[in-house]
Chains A and B, each alone.
Chain A
Amino acid sequence: MIELIGVSKRFGDSLAVNNISLKVASGEFCCLVGTSGCGKSTTLRMINRLIEHSDGEIHIDQQPIRSFREEVLRRRIGYAIQSTGLFPHWTVARNIGLVPRLLKWSQAAVDARVEELMALLRLDMAEFAGKYPHQLSGGQAQRVGVARALAADPDILLMDEPFGALDPITRENLQLELRDLQARLGKTIVFVTHDMDEALRLADHLVVMHEGQVVQQGHPLELLREPANEFVTSLLGGEDRGLKEAALLPVSERMVPLGVGGVARDRIVQTASLRDALSMMLWRRVERLAVVDDEDIPIGELSFRRLVGARGHE
Chain B
Amino acid sequence: MNERHGAPWLAPLCWGILLVGGCLLMRFLEAPLRLVEPDSRAVVFERVDLLTLLGRHLLVVSVAALLSVVVGVVAAIAVTREKGRDFLPLVAQVASMGQTFPPVAVLALAVPVLGFGTVPIIVALMLYGLLPVVRNTLAGIEGIDPAVREAARGMGMTSRQILRQVELPLASPVIVAGIRTSVTINIATAALGATVGASNLGEPIIAGIVNGNTAYIVQGAVLIALLALTVDSLFGWLAPGHTG
A residues sitting closer than 8 Å to B (CB atoms) are 48, 50, 70-75, 79, 81, 83-89, 98-99, 102, 132, 134, 145, 148, 158
Assess whether A74 is in contact with B155, with CB atoms less than 8 Å apart: yes
Is B145 on the interface with A (CB-CB < 8 A)?
Answer: yes
Is B157 on the interface with A (CB-CB < 8 A)?
Answer: yes
CA distance A71 to B153 in the complex (A): 8
Assess whether A88 is in contact with B154, with CB atoms less than 8 Å apart: no
Assess whether A102 is in contact with B153, with CB atoms less than 8 Å apart: no
Is B166 on the interface with A (CB-CB < 8 A)?
Answer: yes
Assess whether A83 is in contact with B145, with CB atoms less than 8 Å apart: yes
Interface residues of B, count at CB 8 A? 19
- Which chain B residues border A71 with CB–CB below 8 Å? 156-158
CA distance A145 to B150 in the complex (A): 13
Cβ contact of A84, chosen from B149, B151, B169, cutoff 8 A: B151
Q: A81-B150, A83-B147, A102-B161 are in contact. Are A88 and B243 (CB under 8 A)?
A: yes
- Which chain A residues border B154 with CB–CB below 8 Å? 48, 50, 74, 79, 81, 85, 158
Assess whether A102 is in contact with B147, with CB atoms less than 8 Å apart: no
Is B33 on the interface with A (CB-CB < 8 A)?
Answer: no
**Sampled A-B contacts (22; CB under 8 Å):** A50-B153, A71-B158, A72-B156, A74-B153, A74-B156, A75-B155, A79-B155, A81-B147, A81-B154, A83-B145, A83-B147, A85-B149, A87-B166, A87-B170, A88-B244, A89-B169, A98-B157, A99-B155, A99-B156, A102-B155, A145-B151, A158-B154
Assess whether B151 is in contact with A79, with CB atoms less than 8 Å apart: yes
CA distance A99 to B148 in the complex (A): 14
Is B239 on the interface with A (CB-CB < 8 A)?
Answer: no
Contact residues, B19-52 vs A (CB, 8 A): none
Assess whether A87 is in contact with B153, with CB atoms less than 8 Å apart: no
- Which residue of chain A is the closest to B165 with respect to CB atoms? A87
Is B110 on the interface with A (CB-CB < 8 A)?
Answer: no
Assess whether A75 is in contact with B150, with CB atoms less than 8 Å apart: no
- Which chain A residues border B148 with CB–CB below 8 Å? 85-88
Assess whether A98 is in contact with B155, with CB atoms less than 8 Å apart: yes
Q: A102-B161, A132-B243, A132-B244 are in contact. Are A85 and B156 (CB under 8 A)?
A: no
